[in-house]
Amino acid sequence: MINVLIVEDSPVIREFLVYLLSSDPEICVIGTASNGEEAFEAVKRKKPDVITMDINMPKMDGFEATRRIMETHPTPIIIVSGVWDPKEVETTFRAVEAGALAVLSRPVGIGHPDHEATAWDLIQTVKVMSEVKVVRRWAHLRRGKVAPAPPPPTTVPSPRSPADIKLVAIGASTGGPIVLHTILSELPTDFPLPVLIVQHIAAGFTQGFVEWLAQSSGFPVHVATYGEDPLPGHAYVAPDGSHMGVDRGGRIILSHDEPENSMRPSVSYLFRSVAYVHEKRAVGVLLTGMGKDGAEELKMMKDRGALTIAQDRETSVVYGMPGEAVNLDAASYMLPPEKIAEVLTNLIKKG
């Protein structure tokens, strides 16, 4: 059984989450808490396998509760939120900095057409997160501090000039925000390439994610818009509900085509587009996440001459997407986040 602690200040929503999670025979709700203080005490007593954490609560909010739990009783934490107020979204990503592993929208009510899908997403995320062994390998980021880099790999790519490579394409899912933070914060301010990012994240959180990522990493980050010409040294994140790619002129395109691998935006769409347009003049990076989105298309990029990187197993919260890529021989290198940033920096040598 997977023992879950539910932290939510609304009694109605708390009972709704208890009902949803208890409906799965593999999950046991061992307790609830109505604020961060109660959650902190309950974790010490009950030792749950997974915590679902609200953000906006009295006495102690979800960020502070996450920070204290991760510093004293590290436990997989899923942020479950139903409010997209900018301040709450900012606090949500501060909780990610403190060690929360995933961010989900609260499942919609019974009778809503998306009820089953959103309930399934919560249940599956709880199951996957229960298998994550939370250790202090991440010195969970406080502002301005980054985990120390691991030893370098035995080989690194040969330097290329900026003229040889046109952009970096990155795909990420569960566990991705903090990895993207690490990579972007370690790129130089004069990094000569645009970075295109597909991050699987709950609808309504993208704008807040982009603002947090830009502020916390110091790297310019934007929500992508159709037809814009991506600038060197800037990152562009696919907006809610739209695939992102590039046209023959290198401009950003957005599409409402059918989801791929149940995702829109899809990493597969981005990587395939980049493979067709830029071929060997691109870098593809596939980070932590559930499923296989982007794995086959990373292989397509590699086959067309691009440099391809997958996050290594040891630092991936979920080794689904990068693991699928490695199984397909799609990755030229398997690296931890800090080393990915170093390789991207060293790969491009200005003339």
Active site positions, annotated: 173, 200, 293
Among residues 228, 216, 171, which one has the least CA distance to residue 196? 171
Burial 174-200 (b: 16+ CB within 10 A, else e): bbbbbbbbbbbbbbeeebebbbbbbbb
Phi, psi of 286 (to 5 degrees): -115, 120
Amino acid at 217: S
Closest CA to 156 of 19, 333, 274, 6: 333
Instruction: State the burial class of residue 107 (Cβ atoms within 10 Å of its Cβ: 0-12, 13-18, 19+).
Output: buried
Distance in angstroms (rounded) separating the CA atoms of residues 133 and 35:
25
**In which element (H, E) is residue 166 found?**
none
